[in-house]
Amino acid sequence: MSVTQQSRRQALKARFARKEIVTAPGIFDMISAKMADSMGFDCLYMTGFGTVASYLGLPDAGSPPTPIWSIASRRSAAARTRR
């Protein structure tokens, strides 16, 4: 690992330790990784379904039905207010 990679990794680890917000877009193939990396995000994350769907040439799964969005948003909001 190069010095630059190691220092970037240590800086990101420190941001996590300080519980700072880190912007990390999901990537699913080399093109999305190159595009996201060129935009200067803090880090990238790889999605499971996105990676498999891209590899197999499948379309996006689309949006879930409204009741699922409602349940998920309520749970997310509840988790956010618990400290």
The pLDDT value recorded for residue 1 is: 62
The pLDDT value recorded for residue 15 is: 92
Could you report the per-residue pLDDT of 13-57, keeping only the tens digit for each?
999 999 999 989 888 888 888 898 899 888 888 878 888 888 888
Euclidean distance between the first and the last CA atom of the chain, given in angstroms as a whole number: 37
3 state DSSP class of 44: coil
pTM of the model: 0.59
Please choose, from the candidates 71, 46, 51, the residue with its C-alpha nearest in 3D space to the C-alpha of residue 61. Answer: 51
Q: Tokens 């200067």 — which residue?
A: 40
Token pair for residue 64?
Answer: 């879930």
- Residue 42 DSSP symbol: S
46 strand-pairing partners: 27
Element (H, E) at 1: none
